[in-house]
Every structure is written in structure tokens, then in C-alpha cells.
């Protein structure tokens, strides 16, 4: 399975996304001082009202002014990656499980940007190595995690990454199935 889009976005995946996926987006944020709601909607393929709803529900930190910065953009992309296969409330709990309160970075096991980049690295590597079994995925996650993480945090992060990867893959296959369905010829 190859990555077709940069996960959580409408952007085509390219080699820059393999090792540091957010580096594809960060220059845009730096140049513009953040994204407007319409730009973020275009980037992610999510309706602006949906994004605003996620902020109202406390799943994404409110914007400063009317611009969405790195913290908001990456959280929205992470939610977007999973929303096709996992209930939104469960995604919020999953993010809270490893990063506590959305507006408190001090309780994060791993910053959302690092989490996003790590997930994209894992997806790329698993695609290249053709890894599919749970055991293979868990081993690849284990190989990528920093040894300095304390045991409880490491275990939480491993479980969340496994769920995120399985959710992404399920969503990918769902999109493939829907595309195939659209190409069916009826009336044969």
C-alpha cells in the first residue's frame, strides 16, 4: 500500500513527506503567519463548519486571531486521518490518552507534530517493507520509539500509534473500495 495523499490532507504525497511530513506544510504556515479557515478547509478537505465545531467541542485549541497555526493544523490533520474509521469522540479520547488536555502542552507524551511525523514515517516504512500483520506493525513502532520515554508513556504511545496506523489503513482501503464501486458499470 502506497501513500497517495499526505495523511490528513488533500495534498499528493511526495518523498519530502516520508521523513518529516509536516515540513511540507510548515513553510506555508511560516510565510502566511497561519492559515485562514478557508485555506485550512482546502488543505484538509474538511468543511469550515466542521473545523469550527471541533474547536467548540474542545478537540482543537482555539485560534489566535483568525489564523490557524501549527498546533491547530496538525491536530486537525490527526483527527482527519482517523475520522473515516473511528468515531470522533473516540479520536478525542485517544488524543487525550497520550497528550492530556488539548490546551496544555506540558502534559504531552509527544507533541502532535512529532506524533504526526512519526506516524507518516511508520506508514511509509511499512509500505516499503510490505508490513501488514499486527506483530510486524508493533515491531516497527517499537523500533522507531525513543528509548528515553518512560515505560508507561512508551506503552501508551505504542498503543495509540497502532490504533492510528490501523485506522489509517482501514480508511485507505475504504477509499479504494469506494473508488472501485464508482467505476462499476451497471446494466450489464
Band the pLDDT of 172: cuts 50, 70, 90: confident
Contact by Cβ (8 Å): 12, 6:
yes
Question: Model confidence over 137-148: pLDDT tens digits?
Answer: 999 999 999 888
Contact by Cβ (8 Å): 67, 36:
yes
55 is written with which cell numbers? 474547536
Band the pLDDT of 188: cuts 50, 70, 90: low
Please tell me the distance from the alpha carbon of residue 7 to that of residue 66, in angstroms, as a whole number.
24
Say if residue 40's pLDDT is above 90: yes
Amino acid at each position: 500500500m502506497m501513500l497517495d495523499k499526505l495523511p490528513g490532507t488533500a495534498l499528493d504525497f511526495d518523498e519530502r513527506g516520508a521523513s518529516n511530513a509536516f515540513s511540507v506544510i510548515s513553510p506555508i504556515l511560516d510565510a502566511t503567519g497561519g492559515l485562514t479557515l478557508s485555506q485550512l478547509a482546502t488543505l484538509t478537505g474538511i468543511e469550515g463548519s466542521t473545523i469550527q465545531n471541533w474547536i467548540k467541542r474542545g478537540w482543537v485549541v482555539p485560534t489566535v486571531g483568525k489564523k490557524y497555526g501549527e498546533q491547530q493544523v496538525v491536530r486537525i490533520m490527526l483527527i482527519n486521518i482517523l475520522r473515516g474509521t473511528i468515531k470522533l469522540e473516540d479520536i478525542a479520547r485517544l488524543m487525550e490518552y497520550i497528550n492530556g488536555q488539548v490546551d496544555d502542552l506540558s502534559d504531552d507524551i509527544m507533541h502532535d507534530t512529532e506524533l504526526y511525523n512519526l506516524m507518516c514515517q511508520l506508514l511509509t516504512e511499512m509500505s516499503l517493507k510490505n508490513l501488514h500483520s499486527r506483530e510486524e506493525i508493533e515491531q516497527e513502532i517499537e523500533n522507531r520509539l525513543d528509548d528515553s520515554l518512560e515505560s508507561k508513556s512508551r506503552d501508551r504511545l505504542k498503543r495509540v500509534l497502532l490504533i492510528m496506523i490501523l485506522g489509517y489503513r482501514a480508511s485507505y482501503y475504504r477509499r479504494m473500495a469506494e473508488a472501485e464501486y464508482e467505476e462499476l458499470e451497471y446494466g450489464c
